[in-house]
Amino acid sequence: MPDFECRLKKYRQLKELTQEQLAQQVGVRRETIMRLEKAQYNPSLKLAVDISRAVEAPIEEIFLFP
């Protein structure tokens, strides 16, 4: 289980995006976004960058590693 905090849900809701819309924008399944928001999946650097661009927030504010 990845050991990090994920604030994706907060930034996604700020951008008024549904999980499905965000998933389509970054080219993954909705289930992957769901897992990311629960910090149950450690994304690749590319996916993290894509998400960061989609929600217009810095990576280090979305994914918090101890």
Partner 1 sequence: MKKLNEKITVILAVVVVALLAAASWYSVTFNDRRLVDPMDFSAYEFRVQDLPMIVSIALFVLYVLYLGVLVVRAIIANKLRAEGSKTTRKLNPKLGLLGFAGFLGFSGFWTYSAFHAVSPFVFFAFFGFFGFFYEGRMSNTFMDERYEENRARAELTAHRTAISITFLSLLLLNLNAGALLGSLEYTLIALTILISLAIALDMFLSEYLLYRYDCADQTDGGGED
Interaction site with partner 1 (CB under 8 A): 9, 13, 18-20, 27-32, 34-35, 38, 40-41, 43-44, 46-47
* Minimum distance from residue 5 beta carbon to partner 1 (Å): 17
- Contact in structure between 17 and 54 (CB atoms under 8 Å): yes
* Minimum distance from residue 35 beta carbon to partner 1 (Å): 5
Whole-number Å distance between alpha carbons of 16 and 38: 18
* Minimum distance from residue 44 beta carbon to partner 1 (Å): 5
- Contact in structure between 22 and 55 (CB atoms under 8 Å): yes
